[in-house]
Homo-oligomer: A and B are copies of this chain.
Amino acid sequence: MSYPRANLVIVGLGLIGGSLARALRESGFSARFIGCGHREASLQRGVALGVIDEFTLDLDAAFDRADILVLCTPTLTASAVLERILERMGEGDGPVVTDVASVKGSLRDTALRVAGKMPARLVLGHPIAGSERSGVDASRADLFRRHRVVLTPEPGNDPAALALVRAMWESTGADVLEMTVERHDAVLAATSHLPHVLAYALVDALAGAEARADIFRCAAGGFRDFTRIASSDPVMWRDIALANRDALLAAIDLFGGHLAQLRGAVAAGDGEQLLATFSRAKQARDEFAALLAGRGQDAGSA
């Protein structure tokens, strides 16, 4: 047991925050886990489950005790909470602060607006993991194992703070990557935010169709897999769509261009173009599936 930083504060104790605390306790990364939030019932549940050791509803008090503070609230809430934390973050020996939000540009914007620059000990990050379940009761120590965590360090970041956040995630069994904020937001728009928008748009279109009853009667397993992500939390996805607006619009337009080309090929009866596109896509998808299988990720991953 090394306890590189003894007190770990989790702000927002849900699936991600709870799983992080469990994983870090198991790996011995921190000695004491302090929950913080405004939903006392969740925090009490976290203590009862042994996920955290104690909790406080007072963000300032939590900040003052933290060696590392991890913002685990939903994307838009994270900006609001970060704003309050930024007011306490000086250039001194305060805690290292990091987060888990799906969009990084909106948090950096908040920091630039409130603090005028990115604080040296604020390191933004995003674990690409999740579950269809939510809440601290669904948390598990192995949620991040073999999953990717993207850190988006800024030029002014304290190297020791970055190393600490990296070590924290590595101790959960995750593979840690670094990217720019812009790259992260574009990549996640492509792999996650766009597919969610497409799935929501498709299900909404079909649910409003005159043939709705026959459509759902005849849909089967392929449709179920394709639309699984349309069962995701609408509030969370509204927030992500708003927070990652520009990258999401670019991804929608990239996709729209390819769809328009396929539509044109269908309209023209151009079997060659259809076959070429479908074949290219199948090859890329098979390669991706092999890659993912090689990583050993389970079916519940986000």
Q: Which residues of A contact B (CB under 8 A)?
A: 128-130, 147-148, 150, 177, 179, 183, 186-188, 190-192, 194-207, 209, 211, 214-235, 237-239, 241-242, 245, 248-249, 252-259, 261-263, 266-267, 269, 271, 274-275, 277-282, 284-289, 291-292, 297-302
Q: How far is the CB of A296 from chain B (nearest CB, A)?
A: 12
* Contact partner, A223, options B130, B195, B254, Cβ 8 Å: B195
Do A218 and B288 have beta carbons less than 8 Å apart? no
Q: Known A195-B223, A217-B148, A226-B225; judge A204-B286 contact (CB<8 A).
A: no
Task: Determine whether the beta carbon of A214 is less than 8 Å from that of B183.
Answer: yes
Q: Are A224 and B292 in contact (CB under 8 A)?
A: yes
> Are B191 and A128 closer than 8 Å at their CB atoms?
no
Chain B nearest CB from A246 CB (Å) reads: 9
A104 to chain B, nearest CB (A): 13
Q: Which of B147, B190, B219 contacts A206 (CB 8 A)?
A: B190
With both chains docked as a complex, state the minimum distance between the C-beta of A79 and any C-beta of chain B, in angstroms. Answer: 14
Is the pair B275, A234 in contact by a Cβ cutoff of 8 Å? Answer: yes
Contacts of A253 in B (CB 8 A): 263
A200 to B281, CA, bound (A): 5
A211-B183, A214-B179 known; A221+B148 contact, CB < 8 A: no
Provided the pairs A226-B226, A271-B238 are in contact, do residues A292 and B199 lie with their beta carbons within 8 angstroms?
A: no
Q: Out of B148, B215, B229, B256, name the residue touching A226 (CB < 8 Å).
A: B229
Q: Taking chain A's interface residues, is the majority helix, strand, or loop, or is none over half, making it mixed?
A: helix
Q: Which residues of B contact A201 (CB under 8 A)?
A: 255, 258-259, 261-262, 277, 281
Stoichiometry, copies per complex: 2
Contacts A195-B226, A255-B205, A282-B230 given: A200-B301 contact, CB under 8 Å? no
Known: A183-B214, A249-B266, A300-B221. A202 touches B198 (CB 8 A): yes
Chain B residues within an 8 Å CB radius of A256: 256, 259, 263
Supposing A191-B223, A241-B266, A262-B201 touch, asked if A207 and B280 sit within 8 A by C-beta, the answer is: yes
Contact A301 B221 (CB under 8 A): yes
Of chain B, the residue at the smallest CB distance from A245 is: B266
Contact B203 A281 (CB under 8 A): yes
Q: Is the CB of A281 within 8 A of B204?
A: yes
Taking a contact as CB atoms under 8 Å apart, the answer to whether B248 and A266 are in contact is yes
Please name the residue on chain B nearest to A193 by beta carbon. Answer: B266
Known: A271-B242, A288-B224, A298-B221. A281 touches B207 (CB 8 A): yes
CB distance from A294 to the nearest CB of B (A): 12
A225: chain B residues within 8 A (beta carbon)? 225-226, 228-229, 299
Asked if A206 and B191 sit within 8 Å, CB to CB, the answer is yes
**Docked-complex contact A194 and B202, CB < 8 angstroms:** yes
Chain B residues within an 8 Å CB radius of A221: 292, 297-302
- Cross-chain contact A238 with B286 (CB below 8 angstroms): no
Taking the closest CB of chain B, its distance from the CB of A211, in whole angstroms, is: 6
